[in-house]
Amino acid sequence: MARKSLIQRERKRQKLEQKYHLIRRSSKKEISKVPSLSDKWEIHLSLLGSHYNIER
């Protein structure tokens, strides 16, 4: 039973990784182009918000 749950957890992780791959890549490109640290932080928070349910 533990083996099956491990496999399911890995499948779920891969599914989430695929779901957010493009969003993360585009946000990382934006971060590299922005000179201001505060703007980079805003983009970083939006990147976190896309996966986690956080309040701002």
The 10s digit of each residue's pLDDT in 13-34 is 999 888 888 888 887 888 888 8
Question: From CA 53, how far away is CA 34, in angstroms rounded?
Answer: 25
Is a pLDDT exceeding 70 seen at residue 37? yes
pTM of the model: 0.50
pLDDT, average across residues 39-49: 80
Share of the chain above pLDDT 70, in %: 86
Nearest to 48 by CA among 20, 29, 22: 20
Work out the average pLDDT over 40-53.
Answer: 73
Domain residues of the chain, as ranges? 20-56
pLDDT band at 9 (very low <50, low <70, confident <90, very high): very high
